[in-house]
Structures are given as C-alpha cells and as structure tokens.
Structure 1
C-alpha cells in the first residue's frame, strides 16, 4: 500500500519506518527541515509541512497520492483557543483529503477525551465538550470532523499515556514531592503496541471504528512511579494522603475483542528488557 504519515514525531517516525520495512510505500511529514535526510535514510519519502492552522507544504502533491493517511497531530499546548485552532488544522487536512486519492484515515487521538468519571470508561463514554481538559475537548472536535466527512472513512485510536525507550513517565516524576492522586490507576501504552495496533488497523482495512488503546495493567500511580523510579536509579516521588475516589480505568475490551489483539507490553510495571 501507499501510506502517508502526517506527523513523523516520537510515534510517527518509528511507525513510518516500520511500515517501510514491510514493503509499503511510505511518505512522511515533518515540521523540521533538518529531519528530512534522516527520514529519507529510513526509506521514507519526506515532506516539510506545517499546520498554522492552514496546511502549508511546497511540492506536496504526491504526499496525497496514497491509500491511507495516518494523522498524528496532537493539539498544541499553551493556546487559549485550542479547540478552534486544532479544529482549523483538522479542517485544513480534510480539505486536502477531499481532493486526494486517500480513502482511509487513521486518527491518533487520546484517552484525555474522557471526563473525570469514576469507574471503567469505554468508547461511548466520551461526551462532546466534557473532557477532563481542553486538549481532550479539542480532540473530540477533531474526531467528529473526521468521522463526519463523507469522502473518506476514519478509524480513531484513543491512546493512553505513551511510554517506551527514551520516554518513561517516571523520569518526569522523579524527586517530586507531595504529589496527589496516588491511588489513581495509570492508563498507559508502550510505543511498540501503538505501532502494531496502527499497522493491524491498516492491513485489515478496519474503518469507521473508535478504539481505546491502553495496556491491560493499571497499577496505582504511587506504586507505578515509585517502583519505576527505583528501577531506573532515580529518586522516587512522594505522594500526599489520597482521599479522592473518583478514578477512571480506560477499558481496552473492544480493541482486544474486535482485533483479537494481545499486547506486547501488557503491564507497564514490567520495564523493557
């Protein structure tokens, strides 16, 4: 297949490389000109592309000559109008899709779309405008724009917190004190599982679906961050007394049932070998 990856960052670049190794024709975008040779060396046709919020890219006609688009552009941080801005970015991509050969889109979303509900949350529990934070509301708006378009079919993947290789959540928590929500379960997923899930969605031509994608294990924050910090020779964080009981666990049941998926890293407590 011909697959375009819009957003070759920490997840998109290794995804594009993995797809290329499977003999797909892969095209990837980056906002950093110096990254172009690095992508090309990995067998990826590289394009310099920005979304500010309109899509800008010179000589990018062939980027849109593809069967599938993996859209991997998270909402920008620190903006007052994040919902409107990200919506405009997505709408600009949609306008290019309408006049392209692409008929399938895989959109990388996040479990931040869910409100702060206690208990187990499933795909139907996301409510427009009621996410726990504004980035989640921006993603819900983006999901809706893509799913409502008639010119192509979209599958949405709501990933939990990403970790793996050089990126581990414990590094950002090490040494911090008096943290809250120590009993709250983590909802994480390893980058390798993200890539395998996206590849399966593409290769099995699954469309029109929304999936949560988080690992099976949901250890409490206090246990997870403290144990991981010690394993990485970092100073463990400390947590305050926790009285909050409104914790959510993101369900991966639909993903496992429909894709018959089995996680490479089912438990985030187990560090990579």
Structure 2
C-alpha cells in the first residue's frame, strides 16, 4: 500500500512508523527540516511543505496515485478564520494532482460546544459547531472519498494528563474526560485504510468518561508526578462525546478503554 501523510506530527509519525514496519510505502510532509531528515533516516519518503505558504508546494514531486491519504494538518484555534481558509484551500489545490482511494482527515471533538449533552455524529441539528474546525472539515469533505475522524483529547507516550496540572490550580476537575489513547487512534486509522466506512464523520473517543480530576490523580500516581496545588470550582458542564458509532461498525474493542489507566 502507498500512503501519503500530510502534516507528520506526533500522532501521524507514530502511524507512519507503524505502516513502514508493516512494509508499506510511506510519504510524509513536515514543515521542520530536523524532522524531514529524521523521517528520511527512518525510511519515510519525507518532503517539506508549508500549506500556509502555497507557492512553495509546486516544487514537491510526488507519485500521482496513493491508496490512502492521512490528512493531519490541524485547524488550530490560534489561527484566524481567513488564515485557515488559505491553509485548507492550499491543501485542496495541492491534492488536485493526486488520486487516492481514500482520504482520512483528523479533526477534534473540540468542534462540539461545551454543554450538558451527549454528542453523536449522526445528530447534528441545532449544534453550534466551532467555526474554525467546521470550516476545515467541510473543505476537506468536499474532496472525493474523504472521511473525518474527530479525535478526543489525545494521550500516550510522554503525553500524560497530570503533567499539565502539576503544581497548578485546576478548575476543570469536575468535567468529564473525552479522551483517547494514541495506541487506539493508530489502530483505528490503520483499520480505516483497509475497511469500508459507512459514514462521513466519526468520533474517536474511549468508551469510558471519568472525571478529569480522577484522571489527574490516577496519572500523577502512576507516573510519579506532582499533584495540582488544589482543585477549585469552575465550568463543570457534563459534556460527553460518544465514539460508539465506529466502535460498532468495526466491532472494535478499545486497547485502552479507560483514561484512568492511560
């Protein structure tokens, strides 16, 4: 299988190495020269591409056909809406000269508002989606054979939830965790590359939703990290993002279903 990865960040690099070890041909873009050289050393066909600077992309020579495209270019909240329009228009133009069997775009459950709601992908009426994430999803879904994974809060390897609250005040402890482990995301991306998908959009979230406070305490204990200075009341909406649609479709058992054990 020939795979193209756009935006070879932390998650995508794990997927790239997994696919390379399985014997697949992997091409991957990065904006960083250090990563470009590291990927090449690891046997990945890497290239530099900055989709905020579209004019630099014409020099990239790629095969014209891929079996699977993993599009991991983020729609970051720090970018302006107009900046994101440019970024994803450049991606669309870049892909005009490439054919693929399937493209998977990685989005985020941050697209859903913070309310006391259980969110399912097939129930979108009346939801005020994040404007930036929705823009990115719609621009990518306009491309052929494209699907979206909305990822929960992503942890694994050196990403440990308690690290972000050590010796700090935590005001989000009563919120529910909509998290997912790197191991499951890599596996579910791999399955998407070979299995049929029945819907355009899927939530990728571990099936258990403990309170964030309990996840912090459990991961601090597990990894020997400092606790927060204290927990204070804050926004304690009970937002739950369900990942059951793809779980049922693939008959998938999560490797790490419980964020308390991440």
Question: Structures share a fold, TM > 0.5?
Answer: yes
Report the CA distance shift for 1:76/1:110 in structure 2 as closer, same or farther (over 3 A).
closer
Corresponding residue for 2:51? 51
With the length of structure 2 as denominator, give the TM-score of the two structures. 0.91
Per-residue CA shift, 1:65-115, capped at 9, x if unaligned? 422211101124534x2x221222111111222222224210000000001
Identify which of 205, 210, 230 aligns with 1:219: 210
Asked if 2 retains the 8 angstrom alpha-carbon contact of 1:154 and 1:208, the reply is: no
Report the CA distance shift for 1:145/1:241 in structure 2 as closer, same or farther (over 3 A).
closer
CA distance in 2 between counterparts of 1:105 and 1:55 reads: 23
Query: Does residue 262 of the first structure (1) align with residue 253 of the second (2)?
Result: yes
CA distance in 1 between counterparts of 2:44 and 2:28 reads: 6
Asked if 2 retains the 8 angstrom alpha-carbon contact of 1:107 and 1:155, the reply is: yes
Query: Does residue 115 of the first structure (1) align with residue 113 of the second (2)?
Result: yes
Structure 2 gaps of 5+ residues are: none
| Equivalences, count | 261
Corresponding residue for 1:163? 155
**4+ runs of 1 displaced by more than 3 Å?**
76-79, 124-129
Asked if 2 retains the 8 angstrom alpha-carbon contact of 1:114 and 1:126, the reply is: no
CA-based RMSD of the aligned residues comes to 2.1
The offset of 1:260, in angstroms, is: 1.1
Corresponding residue for 2:166? 174
CA distance in 1 between counterparts of 2:236 and 2:131 reads: 23
Q: Is the partner of 2:192 in helix, strand or coil?
A: helix
CA distance in 1 between counterparts of 2:42 and 2:157 reads: 19
Per-residue CA shift, 1:167-189, capped at 9, x if unaligned? 11210111112x22322111111
Per-residue CA shift, 1:249-272, capped at 9, x if unaligned? 11011011111111111111114x
Structure 1 gaps of 5+ residues are: none
Query: Does residue 147 of the first structure (1) align with residue 145 of the second (2)?
Result: no
Per-residue CA shift, 1:164-219, capped at 9, x if unaligned? 01111210111112x22322111111111111000100111437521100111211
Query: Does residue 73 of the first structure (1) align with residue 65 of the second (2)?
Result: no
Corresponding residue for 1:252? 243
Identify which of 101, 104, 115 aligns with 2:102: 104
Query: Does residue 130 of the first structure (1) align with residue 122 of the second (2)?
Result: no
Corresponding residue for 1:188? 179
The offset of 1:53, in angstroms, is: 4.7
Corresponding residue for 2:21? 21
Asked if 2 retains the 8 angstrom alpha-carbon contact of 1:64 and 1:97, the reply is: no
CA distance in 2 between counterparts of 1:12 and 1:38 reads: 14
